[in-house]
Structure 1
Amino acid sequence: MSTFQAPKGTYDLIPPRSATFLAVRDAISTPLRNSGYGYIETPGFENVELFSRGVGESTDIVTKEMYTLTTKGNDHLALRPEGTASVLRAALQANLHKQGNLPVKLWYSGSYYRYERAQAGRYRHFSQVGAEAIGAEDPALDAELIILADQAYRSLGLRNFRILLNSLGDKECRPVYREALQGFLRGLDLDEETLRRAEINPLRVLDDKRESVQKQLVGAPLLGDYLCDACKAYHEEVRALVTAAGVEFEDDGKLVRGLDYYTRTTFEFVHGGLGSQSAVGGGGRYDGLSEMIGGPALPSVGWALGVDRTVLALEAEGIELDLPAVTSVFAVAIGEEARRILFGKVTELRREGVSADFSFGGKGLKGAMKDANRSGARYRRWYWLGLNAGTLFGVGFCTWLMYQSLYEINSLCLWC
């Protein structure tokens, strides 16, 4: 065993489990690719200020969980704790919003980092697939993203999940609610740190997972009672479009999510088989984020779904994905001349799109055939080629090869 181990709270993806992660990523991204979302990839680290301004200085992510570093050039950087701010920064930098085709629809996949208490279902390094629709204020966009996430989960066979939905209002009606909530919180028996947070952004207190805090929040004013007419109408349209698509959801008046940039629509996907770490993904509208990070007004909406959380949800439901075989054809040659010829044939198969592998390392027949058995080759048939010229044999399910001159070959064996 190596003297080095993966850092606490992280994990390595290795075969065969890594194939499930790839399949989940593909299942989540497929509905997005089919709906006009283009792929974007951003650096694994950004300037600290991007997240402190965008995500919010009062959030746990910025105050407690963000990995930060100072370079030799005295640049203050942070490993990305979430994807939205980075994607929006990249879109602004590339002037995608000026190309006349709004919304800009993007999807991404990658690893993110937060210094959290390591536990089952919550890691310090985690994988997400996300989607952002930038530059349009339209209830149909909010509904589209909720529907696409639901479609992705159901394509994987997941059923034991729920969609929670809420509205956080906008800059017109939220200040009134903020004042009412702060008045309520000041009357509670809260620790100094929580009271300080309540003064900066009282909605963060609603997201506090501690039971001692949640018990005191019974009877807290709900934002839905303070929504202005425009926000009410917007939220009702989102609800109507999602309902019309046959996607079920639950209204949750206390759902605020853990990021400061959300406005109006906010939603979360939770799974019943994951215990206290039940959230597998979520998102919402963030109409003011572009201005927070120095850009123009660009109303936007998006989500991020946890790949590792989704894999845990699949395991909780006992779902085994129908993964394609890694190898369709495995080739074993006996003798050096047979080895050279068969290696060439394996190369041809690969060029034709057939997944093929070869027995490497100069092993004997017994060891080579063990490799063939472990390869998981989809079809197991034997084809022996002896000294007769013109022998015909089959490969896998789609390719036939003809050897016209085999008199120099001792023997040739193909496992497929």
Structure 2
Amino acid sequence: MSIQRPKGTQDLLPGVIEKWQDLEQHIRTICREYGYEEIRTPIFEATELFQRGVGETTDIVNKEMYTFLDKGDRSVTLRPEGTASVCRAYVENKLYGGQLPVKLFYMGPMFRYERPQAGRFRQFHQFGVEVLGADKPIVDAEVITLVWDLYTRLGLKGLEVHVNSVGCPTCRAVHRTKLQEFLAPRREQLCKDCQDRFERNPMRILDCKNPTCQEITQGAPTTLDTLCPDCLEHFQELKELLTAAGVSFKVDPRLVRGLDYYRKTAFEVLVENIGAQSAICGGGRYDGLVEQVGGPQTPGIGFAMGMERVLAALQASNPLNNLTKKEFVRFVALGEEAQKKCFTFVSQLRRKGIPASIDLLGRSLKAQLKTADKAQARYAAIIGEDEMNRQVVILRDLTLGEQTELPFAETEEELIQKYREEQ
């Protein structure tokens, strides 16, 4: 019996991984333009970090974490999300001692034990940004604008940005009381999870996808109904800034997100045509989180997006072919001497940053050209016995079907020029 990959994981194979690399390059480019620096944190952390940082009332901590004892009997957990780890690194490395705000981004695998389905895996990959040390609405607007700009550049269609304010501890306490009063007469009709949430975190009931719970909560008080003056002003200014930046958004009073640490701004980005898991980004403000993991009082805001879901959305929108870079030139050699010459050309071009390849199996001309077509190469550079004698390369444009002859002495420079023209 062969060994298979664990349930809820996937192998990223050639032909697919290139799309991941292109997405990662877009991410790095936009983060650099926005002034965000990369951070990399451990794949596993002390379990207490996520219990304190993510929240013990969340489904992630209660049901989904991969937690185990190491050989020193210490409880460790494979990270289920990135924000708590970034905050821990911010505190442990005293990043608060430098220039504020600290603007960071991360990419990497996360782990949650949940039922695999389309767009949801047990090992998945997230890109996220975190801004620590600034509490103004303009920071929230920049974070939302960054993800909006990224998706727009990628060519995603049918985007919706949903925003809400979940308030601060002061107005959340008022909302909690009003919501419990509203739900109390029908508490027993709520699903089991929401019955548990009634005392621990009743706001999460508004986010339940159970149809019965959704019906029961129709007309329930929302956080927008109880915002204190400070939170209301913050939310109003955020909406004005998003409008000024040209970001189309919708106010969603039922949007509360699934993590305990959110305050004030909460948002999601949704997209059409990827099934039930239509949210491809979510985030919000977490002004109390750094203190919960042992640091000084520090405001923060960020988002995370599942990269698998973004790629699924791109597949549905069908701009993936634009994201995949084609092979530029495939050298086709016939005979040992021609192969040596082709290998020289390929080596020189690669050292100058030109994507070039060569057949490694000594196949026929027809087979090599077929392989070049399958690799979506733009050019085939053909050298056989006759070309060796005449010291020329036949350069065939595989897109236009045209071909020319180039002297050996001019081949490298001509290919470099053509590559630059296409960039």
Settle same-fold status: TM greater than 0.5.
yes
User: Paired residue for 2:140, among 142, 145, 153?
Assistant: 142
Conserved? CA contact 1:81–1:114, under 8 Å: yes
Provide the aligned C-alpha RMSD in A.
Answer: 2.4
For the pair 1:261 / 2:269, whether they are aligned, the reply is: no
Does 1:288 find its partner at 2:266?
Answer: no
Match of 2:170, SS state, is: coil
Task: Indicate conservation of the 8 Å contact 1:328/1:396, yes or no.
Answer: no
Answer yes or no: is the 8 Å Cα contact 2:231–2:264 preserved in 1. Answer: yes
Name the residue aligned to 2:409: 402
Report if aligned partners of 2:338, 2:384 keep a CA contact under 8 Å in 1: no
User: 1:389 deviation in Å?
Assistant: 6.1
Partner residue, 2:149 = 151
- Return the offset for 1:154: 0.9
> Which residue identity does 1:123 align to in structure 2?
F
SS at match of 1:239: helix
CA change 1:196–1:388 in 2 (3 A) is closer
Partner of 1:410: none
Match of 2:128 in 1: 130
**Partners of 1:198 and 1:60 in 2: how far apart?**
14
Counterpart Cα distance in 2 of 1:123 and 1:387:
53
Residue in structure 2 matched with residue 318 of structure 1 by the alignment: 318
> Which residue is 2:19 aligned to?
20
Map of 1:14-413 to 2, 5 A cutoff? Answer: 14-99=13-98, 101-188=99-186, 189-191=189-191, 193-380=193-380, 382-384=382-384, 386=386, 391-393=391-393, 401-402=408-409
Change (3 A) 1:334 1:277: same
Identity in percent: 44
Superposed displacement of residue 51, structure 1 = 0.7
Structure 1 pair 60–220 and aligned structure 2 pair: CA distance change class (3 A): same
Unaligned runs of 5+ in 1: 404-416
TM-score by length of 2: 0.88
Secondary structure of 1:12 counterpart: coil
Question: Structure 1 length normalisation: TM-score?
Answer: 0.90
**Mapped partners of 2:368, 2:72: distance in 1:** 54
Counterpart Cα distance in 2 of 1:396 and 1:233: 64
Report the alpha carbon displacement of residue 119 of structure 1 after superposing the two structures with TM: 1.4
How many Å apart are 1:386 and its aligned residue?
3.2
Distance, in Å, in 1 between the alignment partners of 2:220 and 2:387 is 86
Task: Report the Cα distance in structure 2 between the residues aligned to 1:323 and 1:154, rounded to whole angstroms.
Answer: 13
Alpha-carbon distance between aligned partners in 1 of 2:386 and 2:179, rounded to the nearest angstrom: 84
Higher helix share: 2
1:241 counterpart letter in structure 2: L
Looking at structure 1, the residues matched to 142 and 179 of structure 2 have their Cα atoms a distance apart, in angstroms, of 31
Q: Distance in 2 between matches of 1:335 and 1:143?
A: 62
Label 1:23 to 1:220 Cα distance change in 2 as closer, same or farther (>3 A).
same
The whole-number CA distance in structure 2 between the counterparts of 1:232 and 1:388 is 77
Partner Cα distance (1:234, 1:248) in 2? 18
1:256 corresponds to which letter in structure 2? V
Deviations 1:88-130 (A, max 9, x none): 212222221111x111001111111111111122222222211
Aligned to 2:419: none
> Cα deviation per residue 1:116-150 (whole Å; 9 max; x = unaligned)?
11112222222221111111111111000111111
Q: In the alignment, is the contact (CA less than 8 A) between 2:141 and 2:242 conserved in 1? A: yes
| Paired positions, count | 401
Q: Secondary structure at the match of 1:205?
A: helix
User: Could you tell me whether the CA contact under 8 Å between 2:167 and 2:223 is conserved in 1?
Assistant: yes
Corresponding residue number in structure 2 for 1:409: none
